Every structure is written in C-alpha cells, then in structure tokens.
Amino acid sequence: MKKPTLGTAGRKLWQEISKDSDIEGAEPLLTELCVVADRLAEIRTILKRDGLVTAKGRKHPLCDMEARLSGHYATLWKLLGLADDPNEPKRPPGRPTELERQERHK
C-alpha cells in the first residue's frame, strides 16, 4: 500500500505516534487516522473562516462532516490501541477479541 501524501496535521500525527508506539502491522490504520486528521484540519480552517452558520442562517454544511470525521477519528484512535490506560498492558491494534469484550461487560 502506497502511503498517501499527508498534510501538516497528518505528518505531525504520524511522527508523534510512530515515535512513541510500535506501529508495525498497523500502518493502514495509522495512515487512515492521519488522512482523517488532515481533513479535519481543513474543515476546521474553513469553519473558522466561514463560521458555523451560513449567511442564510443555516448550519454550515461542513459541520456534519466534521462530526462524522471526528467519530471516525475516535474509532481509529481506539482501534490503534491509543486510548488504552497507560498503566495497563497495551493491547495490539485491531478489534478487541471476544474474551476482551466479555471482560468489559462484567
């Protein structure tokens, strides 16, 4: 898989995560996370410039896109194991195992 050209936010995030975490095997998830970070940065720049409400008094159309991408970002962050408690052993990237899911619901 060819790594896409990342913007400033994506490159910075890639560098921060890759220096502190073992990303071997998780490059596709990390790439997607960084691409989403770039898109969120772009959207937030536009929203800052234009405001959250259009001239017609309606919500800016990018508000919904920002919310969706923020959710996608959070999901990717969790799948990469970056939301884990630093005091607990780090789990590998990917979906939790059935046993992990059962343990959470006890």
Q: What is the pLDDT of residues 61-86, one digit of tens each?
A: 999 999 999 999 999 998 888 876 65
- 6, 35 Cβ separation under 8 angstroms: yes
pLDDT for the residue 93: 62
Q: Which residues pair with 59 in a beta bridge?
A: 53
The string of pLDDT tens digits covering residues 18-58 is 887 777 888 889 999 999 999 999 999 999 999 999 889 99
Going from N- to C-terminal start, the domains of the chain cover: 8-104
Kindly tell me if the per-residue pLDDT of 1 is higher than 50. Answer: no
At which residue do the structure tokens 């919904």 appear? 64
Which helix (H) or strand (E) segment holds residue 50: the answer is helix 27-50
Burial, 13: exposed, middle or buried (Cβ in 10 Å; 0-12, 13-18, 19+)? buried
- Rounded to the nearest integer, the mean pLDDT of the chain is 85
Q: Residues 34, 69: contact at Cβ < 8 Å?
A: no
